[in-house]
Amino acid sequence: MTDLTLNVSRTIDATPEALFNAWLDPKMLAKFMAPGPDMTVPHAANDPVEGGRFDIIMKAGDQELPHAGTYKEINPHSRLVFTWE
């Protein structure tokens, strides 16, 4: 398998602290990880420490779309590195 890297950059009108904390809060993950208007997130959980895991289930109709990963680096308010499975 080839290792792939994705870097995303976007300007959002919020403090770095608020944005960073949103990525690590399961309730906020459930709000912004639904990519479409007809999708829900019935499950979002995480262990926001280096080596900890996150688990998200997106749902579109009857289809469940699980996503999970491991936090590789957590540098508060500036850098978050994780795998995406």
Q: Is the pLDDT of residue 11 over 70?
A: yes
Structural domain boundaries, residue 40: 16-82
Report yes or no on 11 lying in a domain.
no
Asked whether the CA dihedral 80, 21, 12, 84 is positive or negative, the reply is positive
Residue 19, pLDDT score: 86
Greater confidence, 24 or 36? 24
Report yes or no on 6 lying in a domain.
no
In CATH, what number is assigned to the domain containing residue 32?
3.30.530.20
Report yes or no on 10 lying in a domain.
no
pLDDT in tens, 41-81: 999 999 999 999 999 999 988 999 999 999 999 999 989 99
SS3 call for 28? helix
User: Cα(72)–Cα(23) distance, rounded to whole angstroms?
Assistant: 14
Report yes or no on 64 lying in a domain.
yes
> Looking at the 3D structure of the chain, how many domains does it have?
1
Q: Is the pLDDT of residue 23 over 90?
A: no
Report yes or no on 62 lying in a domain.
yes
Structure tokens at 13: 């009108």
